Amino acid sequence: MSLSRRTRSAFTLIELLVVIAIIAILIGLLVPAVQKVREAAARAQCSNNLKQIGLACHMYQDTRKKLPMGWVTSQSGAIAPSPGWSWATIIMPYIEQNALYNSIVGAYGSVGTPSAAAANNPQGAAPLLLQTVIPVYQCPSDGSPVLNGNFGNYARNNYVANRYVLGPNNNSQAAYAIQNIPDGSSNTILIGERDAITNVGAVYVRHSNSSCSFEGRAGAGLNPRPATGPGAIVTHDPYTTGDDQRLAFSSQHTGGCNFAMADGSVHFIANDIDADPADDWTATPFAHHATNVNYNLNKLMLANDGQPINYNFE
């Protein structure tokens, strides 16, 4: 009795290569999709951070009847790091950082009490207390070190304030109350982003290296990048505290930056928003612009220019 044999044909080399090519194409399509989803999640988390920060500023006003000041020094005779405390330190009790805030007060004295003169920081390098990482101050899209080497290795903060709203201005410790912002709280930026990969980031103290340690400005636009090529003035990346662009708002998100408005809402503003090309980011607040500024980004910064906003937020 003979048994019939069933022959099994194998894959040819060409068929195998085709399958491998198809798998490679599918992986190539999948990786950008995964990266896109990951960035969307990071942008959403960043937006949530700003929402919490905006609410904290509102809760501070509920108690103090005005928004937190942009920066202050410690009480007279006490030591304030380089050379004072920023809005981000002042609102710590309202972002569930009571323990850290109380430790800072215990080590340095009162936070949020203006002094006639700024004190110096004799410790030199940032003490461990002020290297405490606060998650709500760190954008997940910014993969730079959690300690900011631009500002004495204090803990990095990716969010900076609008000095036109919080002050100080012309040596005045002034901050608006939300209801008193002349242009309206929904038309005025309160807090925005700055990354520490292409730019200098920020910290939650007011560092003596630059006011960009706590504040941001519209300048000539969002997300300026260092120029490259023949004749470029700036060829390095990232910016440093010696560059004018250090005060710019910037992020690692695709196409723009997140902002908290003074009314507590959070919006994503695209890089292509119109901005004054003649505006230097380091121009003294309240001194550079007349009331006829006609660029949306700059109008969103100025709290009292009286100009209507013609921009559709995302």
pLDDT at 63: 94
Share of the chain above pLDDT 70, in %: 81
Q: What's the confidence (pLDDT) of residue 211?
A: 93
Nearest to 79 by CA among 124, 120, 128, 130: 120
Distances (CA, A) of 49 to 3, 56, 57, 188, 237: 74, 11, 13, 18, 27
Burial 48-71 (b: 16+ CB within 10 A, else e): ebbbbbbebbbebbeeeebbbbbb
150 CB contacts (<8 Å, ≥6 apart)? Answer: 196, 200, 201, 209, 240, 241
Q: In this structure, are residues 221 and 174 in contact, taking their beta carbons and an 8 Å threshold?
A: no
Compute how many other C-beta atoms are within 10 angstroms of the C-beta atom of residue 177. Answer: 12
pLDDT along the chain (314 residues), means of 10: 56 79 79 66 95 98 94 72 90 96 85 56 64 97 95 95 87 79 94 96 94 95 82 74 94 96 96 91 66 82 86 82
What are the domain boundaries of the chain?
A: 16-59+124-301
What pTM was estimated for this model as a whole? 0.84
59-110: per-residue pLDDT in tens? Answer: 999 999 999 999 988 755 667 788 889 999 999 999 999 999 998 888 887 7
Strands 147-148 and 154-157 turn out to be antiparallel
Q: How far is CA 301 from CA 56, 216, 236, in A?
A: 20, 9, 28
**How far apart are the C-alpha atoms of 283 and 99, rounded to whole Å?**
37
Token pair recorded at residue 287: 């001194």
Q: Exposure of 230 by Cβ count < 10 A (0-12 exposed, 13-18 middle, 19+ buried)? A: exposed
